[in-house]
């Protein structure tokens, strides 16, 4: 069963990078460059995946799609195959959380990292230029050529901390 991996997304904190092409345009360019085909399923999946800015896994995406028989139905294998292509095309980034693959927008979206609250299972994004500088400086010391990184800080988010404190104070009464 899919766990709650929804994003507390803060529009003020993380601005989108302006891009010249829409995700669909970019994907179609990618398809062309590889001799792959524009299909209705791929077009529809780009649309669906970029209609919300949230982390999601394959099941959450499937839940959001039309059921079998309905128009625009896309089968489970095709969803998995297409997610892989989105990653190859640079549209999505994939990471693993609690044994499942989680996807997030990559194209047109700035580099960022995550807090993961172990109480409410929520991923929250943050950006730190310093972190990237430090990463590159460490990598230089080890002569490691950085392609990307993945940082998840686990702990308890502010809301969950407050919720706990309130309850603790109530308990005392």
The residues that touch a second copy, with contacts defined as CB under 8 A, are 96-97, 99, 101, 115, 117-118, 124, 126, 128, 130-131, 134-135, 138-139, 142-158, 161
CB of 9 to DNA, least distance (A): 22
Nearer to DNA, 7 or 78 (CB): 78
Q: b or e along 124-157 (b: 16 or more beta carbons within 10 Å of the residue's beta carbon)?
A: bbeeeeeeeeebeeeeeeeeeeeeeeeeeeeeeb
Q: How far is the CB of 68 from DNA (least distance, A)?
A: 6
- According to the binding rule CB under 7 A, does residue 55 interact with DNA? no
Q: Which is nearer to DNA, 76 or 150 (CB)?
A: 76
84 near DNA, rule: CB under 7 A: yes
Q: What is the nearest approach in angstroms of DNA to the Cβ of residue 155?
A: 22
């Amino acid at each position: 069963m899919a766990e709650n991996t929804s994003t507390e997304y803060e529009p003020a904190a993380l601005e989108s990078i302006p891009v010249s092409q829409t995700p669909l345009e970019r994907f179609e360019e990618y398809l062309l460059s590889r001799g792959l085909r524009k299909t209705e399923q791929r077009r529809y999946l780009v649309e669906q995946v970029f209609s919300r800015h949230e982390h999601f896994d394959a099941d959450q995406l499937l839940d959001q799609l039309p059921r079998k028989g309905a128009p625009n139905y896309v089968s489970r294998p095709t969803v998995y195959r297409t997610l892989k292509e989105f990653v190859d095309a640079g549209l999505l980034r994939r990471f693993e959380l609690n044994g499942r693959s989680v996807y997030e927008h990559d194209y047109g979206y700035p580099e960022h990292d995550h807090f993961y609250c172990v109480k409410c299972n929520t991923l929250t994004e943050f950006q730190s230029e310093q972190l990237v500088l430090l990463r590159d400086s460490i990598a230089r010391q080890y002569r490691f050529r950085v392609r990307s990184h993945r940082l998840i800080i686990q702990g308890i988010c502010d809301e969950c901390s407050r919720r706990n404190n309130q309850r603790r104070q109530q308990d005392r009464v």
